[in-house]
Amino acid sequence: MFAKDGQDILSRPEIVSSVIGIVRQMDVIAAEDAEFSDVQERRKYPRYSFAQGTVPCRFEHHNGDTGVSIVLPRNLSASGMSFVKYGYMHEGTPVQMMFTRRDGEKRQVDGTVVWCRMVRGNLHEVGVTFGKYVSPHLFCSREAMSQPFSKDRKKIASNAKQPKPAEGMAICIGDDAEEIGYIATVLARDGLLTEKAMSFGQGLDRLRQNTYGYVVVDLDIDGFEPADVLLQVCGIASTSRVVGMTWCGPDQTDTFVQENDALVLQKPVPNSILEEIEKIQSGEKRAA
């Protein structure tokens, strides 16, 4: 963990409670803010509420000195986040934050300040872009992942719950009709009721509308990096078993597989996808 230098105002619980109330008011204001709506439309990745409590943030002052401040995360996406803190931060400031994954593991995330705006008094909201993509579903609650943080946020029911996936249902996603057709045939032989999405965009739309026990996605989609395909699918299908298919070797896929809690099978497509999944999971259990 980062060591704080001096007494930070957000280390006091009564101040944190007050700031949380201010942030909730910000959410309602943002829902009616046309400028915010325009920005939201341009975002590449959906944002999700990020209730981590206060976290330490190490940063470099514009004069070159290093400091540590306590910040309160507001929302998180694959490519960045925003948090609130006391004091202004200059655009371009490098930051390092320590997040806690849902499994309890600590994770350092590096980024750069891209904007800072005053909220009230000396309280500011700070926007950060990450140096590397992160997977929001590893950090955000299932409830938060069930609904993107958006201009319609004030309409979200506070007791919204993530539906359980249909275990016997599968969807295969890709842009190669012949390959997706064969994957669907293999899944049907495995005893799964299977849907086909013949484009990446259509597949993401289906995942937002329905839940599946298995999501099999062709990672070799024209115009997309395999890691980006897997990142977006895992961000939406957070309760499904996600399986990627690719010609890339393990040396190219190991990192983003670990980051996204997914499985990747090497092409050509095996005769039984479920058997391959079972082999991998059995090997992981023996290794553990």
Q: CA-CA distances (angstroms) from residue 185 to 188, 195, 237?
A: 5, 10, 22
Cα(134)–Cα(165) distance, rounded to whole angstroms? 23
Crossing angle of helices 200-209 and 226-236, in 10° steps, is 20
Q: Residue written as tokens 């026990």?
A: 213
Domains of the chain: 9-155 (2.40.10.220), 166-287 (3.40.50.2300)
Task: State which amino acid sits at residue 269.
Answer: V
Q: In which band, very low, low, confident or very high, does the pLDDT at 163 lie, cut at 50, 70 and 90? A: very low
Tens digits of per-residue pLDDT, 20-69? 665 655 554 444 343 333 344 345 667 777 766 778 888 876 667 788 88
More confident site: 47 or 263: 263
Band (165; pLDDT cuts 50, 70, 90) = very low
Neighbouring residues of 69: CB distance < 8 A, sequence distance ≥ 6: 4, 8, 10, 56, 57, 59, 85, 86, 87
Residues 55, 1: Cα–Cα separation, whole Å: 10
pLDDT tens across 207-257, in order?
888 888 899 999 999 888 888 888 888 878 877 889 999 998 877 766 666
Percent of the chain with pLDDT over 90: 17
pLDDT higher than threshold 80 for residue 264? yes
Looking at residue 52, what is its pLDDT? 66
Strand partners, 237: none
pLDDT tens string 93-124? 999 988 888 788 888 899 999 988 887 767 78
Q: Say whether the peptide bond before residue 268 is cis (omega within 30 degrees of 0).
A: yes
For 139-155, the pLDDT digits (tens) are: 877 666 655 554 334 34
Looking at residue 271, what DSSP letter applies? Answer: S
Rounded distance, CA 259 to CA 107, Å?
11
The pLDDT, as a whole number, for residue 172 is 95
pLDDT confidence of residue 195: 92
Neighbours of 40 (CB within 10 A): 17
State the Cα–Cα distance between residues 207 and 198, nearest whole angstrom: 13
Q: Which residues pair with 59 in a beta bridge?
A: 67, 95
Residue 6 confidence (pLDDT): 40
* Res. 283: pLDDT tops 70: no
Q: What share of the chain is helix, strand, coil (3-state, %, to 5)?
A: 35, 30, 35
Cβ atoms of 99 and 105 within 8 Å: the answer is no
Higher pLDDT, 271 or 123: 271
Pick from 204, 198, 194, 158: which is nearest to 180 by CA? 198
